[in-house]
Amino acid sequence: MYKFDPFAIPFLIGFAFVIGWVIVRMIQIFIGMPKKDKKRVFVNIFTFKTVRGIGEIISEVLIHHRIWRENKLLGFMHMSFALGWFLLIVTGWIESSLRANGETLPIWQHIFYKYFFPGEHVFRLSDVIKQLMDLWLAVILLGQLIAVLKRFFYRRAGIKIRTRHSRMNRIALTALWFIFPLRLLAESCTASLYGGGGFLTGSLGQLIAWIGDASFITYPMWWAYSIALGVFFCVLPFSRYLHIPVEAFLILARRWRVSDITTINRLETMACSACGMCLSDCPLARNNIAGVQPVYFIERLRDGKATTDDAWKCLQCGRCQQICPVRVHANNLRQELKGSTDRVEFGLDTHKRVLAKRVTLFSGCMGKLTPRTKAAMEKILNAAGVEQTWIDEERDLCCGRPLRFNGNQNTANQKFNELHDAILETRPDAIVTTCPICFNMMKNRFETIPVYHHTDYIRMLIEAKRIDLERSEETLTYHDPCELSRQAEYARQPLKVLNRVGTMLQPEETGEKTRCCGGAVAAIGLNNSERKTLAQETADYLSNRNADKIVTACPLCKKTIAQRSKRPVADFAEIVADALVERE
Ligand code: SF4
Ligand code: SF4
């Protein structure tokens, strides 16, 4: 049953190259991992974590569940290629194995089964399998049709900004677009000569036979199909399609709790699929301050061409990370390029939550610029009977995060340690800060003391009925700070509180989809005019709701929006303080 034909050579070269490349690269990454992470891999590999990882690989690499969630058409398109091709390989393998009746076939006889075994063959399930094979091929071709149309009518596909692809990506894409039509033609021509085929290749084969003799083009078609496969596999490691194998490794590394930032950064750089979803809501892309969004930044990083300029020219607002289907943390990649880590955890502080009697409060460098927020907090805490110490009232203290953002890791650590020790001296039951940037830096960094953002602490006071609020006629638009809604994943709750005191007029992009105010401390590479454009855009966007006040929960957002907004801007604490009802 062993057969060979030279036309399979291009495929075999490409296949051997891509497998070899991926294996060598993954081994290199594994060797470069710190000992503790290698140990984690060995400890976790034969556990339920791997099973869950495989589930996530099916959900994200094959079905593209996260893309479905954002855009159904794009979800189908990506799934049709990934899952369709996977099913084509698996079903084809079953078909050729059943036909071989127990004999082991070489890989090329599985891949080019219809060439090596032309005509109708009857064996167990053969009828079902041949129809399934054509169904998977039809699904892929439908996805391909959508992909082609999307290039011309991208807005109709729900894409706001189209991605510009590099030369390598274009070569890989062209090869990919040739693979499936060539397969269809090669199989159909073969069916026209020898019969067989399912509802698609069989019918097309009959049509070709009716038109004329296809014997002179059948063999070249198999060559062309094999060449398209070979070219695609050879350029895959240098193109966006590298994400196909690497995303699976990335998912497993995360499941196995690999924590080394360099390892995760390397994998994330290779796992970016250049889908361009990160462009759609990026304020820089929207305002034509282009070229630094993850899709381009990562491409340059992969090609070794990224400069620190690319890192400085980004707000690090995290909107692109939030929408990214691969969950690439582009901010970490930028931080690495700046020479520092700013790997703060997502979510709130995880210590046991307490409604403390004695609280230490920290305004932070930005918070000191908004004294009304402090005054409002004092009023709220006094009403709730909470003993308060403002740690930076008379001292200049800093959490160090802005320094980290700007690559000054050592001084940042010194600053944080200073703050840490000063807070511990006050022996608080809880720590509260009115700045979400400081909050993300401080959370989980105090061994036994919980750290709160003031919105969360106020919400707890209300729920515990330590303060009462009165509703007013005021209309409000709440602006979620990026650091609070996306980094701390605290988006819905402040809105619920505000709903109790006024009527909310929210913009469409709210919660975790909030727009950056433009005042980000990380973006020192943006010039004044670029910053002004970004800040004005957000201020107008919020003002357009025509609410009596714009409310936010970050001193930097408050300052930036207030400078450009047509509406007055207040902190969350000010609104709550104004709504306080005095108890008898
Ligand atoms: S970073 Fe994420 S969203 Fe952006 S192109 Fe890469 S995979 Fe797509
Ligand atoms: S972090 Fe914000 S500004 Fe930077 S690329 Fe992402 S969306 Fe654009």
In this prediction, residues 354-376 reach a mean pLDDT of: 91
> Which pLDDT score, from 0 to 100, does residue 544 have?
94
CATH of 358-462, one of 1.10.3720, 3.40.190, 3.90.1580, 3.40.50: 3.40.50
> Which pLDDT score, from 0 to 100, does residue 62 have?
96
Reply yes or no on domain 469-578 having CATH 3.40.50.1860: yes
Best probe residue, ligand 2, of 281, 288, 298, 314 (max atoms within 8 Å of C-beta): 314
> Where do the domains of the chain lie?
65-154+163-241, 358-462, 469-578
In this prediction, residues 44-54 reach a mean pLDDT of: 96
Q: Binning pLDDT at 50, 70 and 90, where does residue 102 land?
A: confident
Query: 3-state SS of 131-150?
Result: HHHHHHHHHHHHHHHHHHHH
In this prediction, residues 366-394 reach a mean pLDDT of: 93
Using CA atoms, how far apart are residues 140 and 181, in angstroms rounded to an integer? Answer: 10
pLDDT in tens, 405-462: 888 888 999 999 999 999 999 999 999 999 999 999 999 999 889 999 999 999 999 9
> Which pLDDT score, from 0 to 100, does residue 290 have?
67
pLDDT in tens, 283-304: 999 998 867 889 999 999 998 8
Q: Binning pLDDT at 50, 70 and 90, where does residue 342 land?
A: low
Best probe residue, ligand 2, of 286, 287, 315 (max atoms within 8 Å of C-beta): 315
Query: 3-state SS of 233-290?
Result: HHHHHHCHHHHHHHHHHHHHHHHCCCCCHHHHHHHHHHHCCCCCHHHCCCHHHHCCCC
**In what side-by-side order are the strands of the sheet with 387-390?**
387-390, 358-362, 430-433, 451-453
User: Is 273 close to ligand 1, i.e. is its CB under 6 Å away?
Assistant: yes
pLDDT in tens, 227-238: 999 999 999 999
Cα angle vertex 8, ends 5, 12, to 5°?
135
* Nearest protein CA to atom 6 of ligand 1, as residue: 272
> Which pLDDT score, from 0 to 100, does residue 240 have?
93
DSSP string, 50-107: HHHHHHHHIIIIIS-HHHHHH-HHHHHHHHHHHHHHHHHHHHHHHHHHHHHTTPPPPH
> Mean pLDDT for the chain?
93
Pocket of ligand 2 (CB under 6 A): 282-284, 293-294, 314-320, 516
Task: Yes or no: say if 214 and 192 are a contact pair by the CB < 8 Å rule.
Answer: yes
User: Is 87 close to ligand 1, i.e. is its CB under 6 Å away?
Assistant: no
* Nearest protein CA to atom 5 of ligand 1, as residue: 274
Q: Binning pLDDT at 50, 70 and 90, where does residue 122 land?
A: confident
Does 469-578 match 358-462 at the fold level? yes
